[in-house]
Amino acid sequence: MIGMSRQGVWNAAAAAMALALALGAGCSKTETPAVRAAREGVLLVGNGAEPQALDPHLVTGVPEHRIATALFEGLCDLDPATLEAVPAVAESWAVSDDGCVYTFTLRPDAKWSNGDAVTADDFAYAWERILSPALASEYAYMLHCIKNAKAFNEGELDAFGQVGVRVVDARTLEVTLEEPTPYFLEMQIHYTWFPLHRATIEQFGGMTERGTKWTRPGNLVGNGAFTLERWEPNRVLRVVKNDHYWNADAVRLSAVEFHPIEDTLTEERSFRTGNLHLTENVPISKIEGYQRDTPGLIRIDPYYGSYYYRLNVTRPPFDDVRVRRAFAMAVDRDTLVARVVRAGRRPAGNLTPPDPSGYTCAASIPYDVEAARALLAEAGYPNGEGFPPTELLYNTSENHKLIAEAVQQMWKDNLNVHVALLNQDWKVYLSSMSTLDYQMARSAWIGDFVDPINFLECFVTGGGNNRTGWASPAYDALIGEARRTLDAGQRMAVLEKAERVLLDEAPIIPVYFYTRVFLIAPELRGVESNLLGYINFKRLWFEPEARAEG
């Protein structure tokens, strides 16, 4: 999901050839797939990986989020330029004076892709499903801001009727929260909040049955601007314009094809040879060449995300906090960013990136080799002697490999410890982390909404996105206090206390804060720069003449 670097530099001839290919070279008689697709209104997207699944309640990653936002739509959308909540399925809403009750009025013309009306009951059904303990959704905690949702999700309440979700009528949904949640509307862009078509779910299995056929082409019924036409695993997933979508007249793309290309070098080559309009990543070895020779094809945007390593605290040697902190303090983040990662990214000694809310964590895990060696010796491994065989897992990507190799060398130089590297494809990697079948694992978190709690709540005890085995009652209490604190300044102070606990216990090793680096065809319009990297496919279009002018 990020860039990486070997410092390869294009020569002039190679750059000229790449530019000619990328721009469809006016003198060439061969029309590239990207040129042809643009003329037909079909967007070709590098998706980074084969999606884990298409069920919005059973996925957890960025590759899945892009597809889900094309197939489904929540109560609110986000303006991709401002990240402000705007009407979607809900044409309007009202908020009580205490900020705890939201009343949504749904559009009369909101429809599913089969023509059925989208109703308030579709949202209530979907939210009951994701919160049902039997489904065991890793992301169910996203809905815990709703009154009694956490108690129902954890089996303390049996009846969903006790949860703060009330269907007033077909077009009116009332939601009561545990406490005022300033980011509640912005969360509605996340797939966990999307409605589901009850008849389709139950046609292919029960409400909480996992892995059924309802998400396959010909079966999936969505309410987004696009509908699933074809899914050839590890080749392409194609969605086409949904004529039943309430705002179909404003959708200018006829289709989007998502290509799961995990290898960044392969993805860049696909773009350069005219097979993609938009990439997920750029190999760092190529970034300087694009910036120098074809700057109009590369974008480096701010991105609300962190790159870090998870540590499995349920297994030796990382069940010892001294070992965890030693490994964290032996990573030279400044050098890693300057020489390997680059692209405007910043070294990170903590998890949560600074953001517009004003949050900045003053605590940080320092780079301190002597202290790291002392901790490792105290844990029983002086100069790395006797340290057990250790593996670092990463999902397949040239970028992740290069970062892992650099960090591997730092641990060897600074701790005299050899760490083996292991790569797995996206689905296997996610399974390994979820089942704690790893020792150390490459990880990242891209904000679902712009608020530090979205990063920090991942590591509450038993949280679906914790995936470290770490538990801290003190940390859990601080996250709970932050959720109840209404004063913005006090709330940020509580969150910083929580992050200090996380850093002291070190179930993670922060590495750097992201920028979003990607390649974009000159004729593609409507891709806005924003902290979440949110691409609203409903708002994209092509201007073919831009390629010719380029």
Residue 223 CB contacts under 8 Å (≥ 6 apart), including other chains: 72, 73, 89, 110, 111, 112, 113, 118, 122, 194, 195, 197, 245
Residue 353 CB contacts under 8 Å (≥ 6 apart), including other chains: 304, 305, 306, 455, 513, 514
pLDDT band at 37 (very low <50, low <70, confident <90, very high): very high
pTM of the complete model: 0.90
Average pLDDT score over residue span 514-521: 97
Tokens of 247: 């705002």
List domains and CATH numbers for the chain. Answer: 12-50+225-293+520-549 (3.40.190.10), 62-211 (3.90.76.10), 305-515 (3.10.105.10)
Q: What is the DSSP-derived secondary structure letter of residue 340? A: I
- Rama region for 232: left / alpha / beta (φ>0; ψ in -120 to 50; rest): beta
The pLDDT value given to residue 4: 33
Residue scoring higher pLDDT (21 or 143): 143
Average pLDDT score over residue span 515-526: 97
What is the per-residue pLDDT across 264-298, written as a single tens digit (0 to 9) for each?
999 999 999 999 999 999 999 999 999 999 999 99
| 518 bridge partner residues | 299
Average pLDDT score over residue span 417-442: 97
ω into 87 cis (within 30 of 0): no
The pLDDT value given to residue 22: 43
What is the per-residue pLDDT across 391-429, written as a single tens digit (0 to 9) for each?
999 999 999 999 999 999 999 999 999 999 999 999 999
| Residue 26 pLDDT greater than 70, yes or no | no
Q: Is 120 helix (H, G, I), strand (E, B) or coil?
A: helix
* Count of all residues that appear for the chain in the document: 550
| 392 bridge partner residues | 421, 440
The pLDDT value given to residue 244: 98
Average pLDDT score over residue span 455-477: 96
What is the per-residue pLDDT across 39-66, written as a single tens digit (0 to 9) for each?
999 999 999 999 999 999 999 889 999 9
Average pLDDT score over residue span 112-118: 98
C-alpha–C-alpha distance, residues 58 and 65, integer Å: 11
Residues of the chain with pLDDT > 70, as a percent, come to 94
Mean pLDDT of all residues in the chain?
93
Burial of 373 (0-12, 13-18, 19+ CB in 10 A): buried
Residue 1 near residue 281 (C-beta atoms within 8 A):
yes
What is the per-residue pLDDT across 218-273, written as a single tens digit (0 to 9) for each?
999 999 999 999 999 999 999 999 999 999 999 999 999 999 999 999 999 999 99
Residue 95 CB contacts under 8 Å (≥ 6 apart), including other chains: 101, 102, 103
